[in-house]
Chains A and B, each alone.
Chain A
Amino acid sequence: MPSEPVELLQGTLDLIILRALSTMGPQHAYGLAARLAQVSDHPLSLNQGTLYPALVRLEHKGWIKGAWGKTETNREAKFYALTKAGEKALQKEAEKWRRLAGLVDKLLLES
């Protein structure tokens, strides 16, 4: 039974994409969307088109790099890969996220 949809916090989508690329290797936007749906058991009912601004943002920051390639079914698609700067950024962002999550957890448990 899927739980209620979660609204994405600003900035979390970037982190999720970086993480997905880090574990799965180069992916196209469809693959990323499928991955997001899979890990979350569909709680993030985001329109797949919403990924695009995030991808452009990450590309401009130099964290990921897009290149045209072929899928297993021999369709052309743009594959995004994590860059060196992206790996570093993922570590930093993940650390930040964990600290923030820990803080929020603590605050929620206190009451």
Chain B
Amino acid sequence: MIARRPHQTAGADFKVTAFEGYAMKATCWMGPQKMVVKEVPDPKILNQRDCIVKITSTAICGSDLHLYNGFLPMMEPGDIMGHEFMGEVVEVGRDVKKVRKGDRVVVPFPIACGACGACAAQAYSLCENSNPNAWIAEKMLGHSPSGIFGYSHLTGGFAGGQAEYARVPFADVGPFKVPEDLTDDQVLFLSDILPTGYMGAEMCGIKPGDTVAVWGCGPVGQFAIASAYLLGAEKVIGIDRFPYRLQMARERAGAVTINYEEVDSVPDVLKDLTAGRGPDHCIDAVGAEGHTHGVQYVHDRAKQMMRMQTDRPIALREAINSCANGGTVSVIGVYTGLIDKFPMNAVMNRSLTIKTGQCHVHRYMQPLLDRIQRGELDPTFIITHHMPLGDAARGYDIFNKKLENCEKVVLQAA
């Protein structure tokens, strides 16, 4: 008897439909700072636990800018971008049990199988099964994290969601049903940045009376500030250099703000604000650009990049140096390579705790939806731009250059 492989079984249903006009629009990375909305074939079920989502709203994430600017070598021209998206389920694979056609769902950005050891521990962004390129990630990072939609081949080479349709693996684990009475804008950010900001605050272990400082007032920083208040912080300080972002942090998220371009020393201002103690917890919502890769030549290229980037982990160093003795440094800004001059002496001698991770989105979706429904949190305040999917290239450009007071771009696909 010849045993058939399961993926061959999946392939047996596969109709070769030579481009018969079944095309969708998708935002394709064609090279650094070259984003083109192109027509590509519709996605199909590849595994029997997949579903296909017809996308209604999708957003550009700050971490997409690392890809946009060409800092990740594991990109191929033609890769479809996007990991923040929601829409309607239009097709399900044979083995999908819970999700049905017609469900309105928000899709979490990490792809998780729900069955491995990491998923059992609710560490969904560490899923052990969802990255088909895990062997490359292992060479570079030691072990592999989960697969991620539209986020380079290092995290699996999955087509992303800045498109009209997307194929979503493990449909019963990821896609999260949302009530019809909430708008897309209210629930879209459950896919990434709202849980990411919330997890950044949660990792701090905030106690009543605590002061929290947040580096970066981009969308994730804004949500980290708001979440720190929700979790009981007495005072939250936001640090950035764009006046419109600081204004949003003050007026919409309730932060005390510092424009780091207008002060001599951020740690001194923080000491002043906390009467010498320093913030009890510091959140790095900036991250660093730069990238390494297991293959030798790329490794050298990454080293070269790191020399260009020696100033970039400034936020992290400053967060460590500013943090109160015994405090927590929570890192949710994305780091993609090696960093230089890491102040380990401050971390060790002052009993600091560093907590970090790509957000385990799945575990926060229900509790955060509850907070939205109870009116404790309105995530729509960060949206500054709505535009049709076809204008994605312009969206990337203004978000990257911080033009038109751009904080968050939502693309409407339908």
Q: Do A and B bind each other?
A: no
**Chain A residues near B (Cβ < 8 Å):** none
